[in-house]
C-alpha cells in the first residue's frame, strides 16, 4: 500500500468551480503507481470532492500539470 499527497498548483476557474493553490488531500492506494493514472484518477476525484466539495474532473484539472503528486 502506498500513500500519496495530491496538491493543487495553480488558481483556476472553470465550469463554475474554483481551484485554489495548495488544496491537498492524502490518498492511499493498493499499488505504487501514480493515482492520477490509475482507474482514471477516481480516488483523487473522490478525495477532493469529500474534503473540498469540488469536482476536479469537471474543472478539467485532473492531470500532472495542475496537480502535484508526492509519495509519502
Q: Give pLDDT tens digits for 4-21.
A: 999 999 999 988 899 999
Q: Domain coordinates of the chain in residue numbers?
A: 2-71
Using DSSP bridges, classify how beta strands 12-14 and 24-29 pair: parallel, antiparallel or unpaired.
unpaired
User: How far apart are alpha carbons 6 and 64 in whole angstroms?
Assistant: 10
| pLDDT given at position 21 | 93
pLDDT digits (tens, 9 = 90+) for 49-67: 999 999 999 999 999 999 9
Query: Cβ distance 56 to 62 under 8 Å?
Result: yes
Query: Taking the model in full, what pTM does it have?
Result: 0.87
Q: What is the pLDDT of residue 38?
A: 87
Amino acid at each position: 500500500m502506498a500513500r500519496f499527497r495530491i496538491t493543487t498548483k495553480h488558481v483556476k476557474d472553470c465550469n463554475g468551480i474554483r481551484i485554489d493553490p495548495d488544496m491537498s488531500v492524502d490518498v492511499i492506494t493498493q499499488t505504487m503507481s501514480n493515482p492520477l493514472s490509475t482507474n482514471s484518477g477516481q480516488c483523487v476525484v473522490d478525495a477532493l470532492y469529500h474534503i473540498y466539495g469540488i469536482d476536479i474532473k469537471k474543472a478539467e484539472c485532473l492531470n500532472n500539470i495542475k496537480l502535484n503528486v508526492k509519495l509519502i
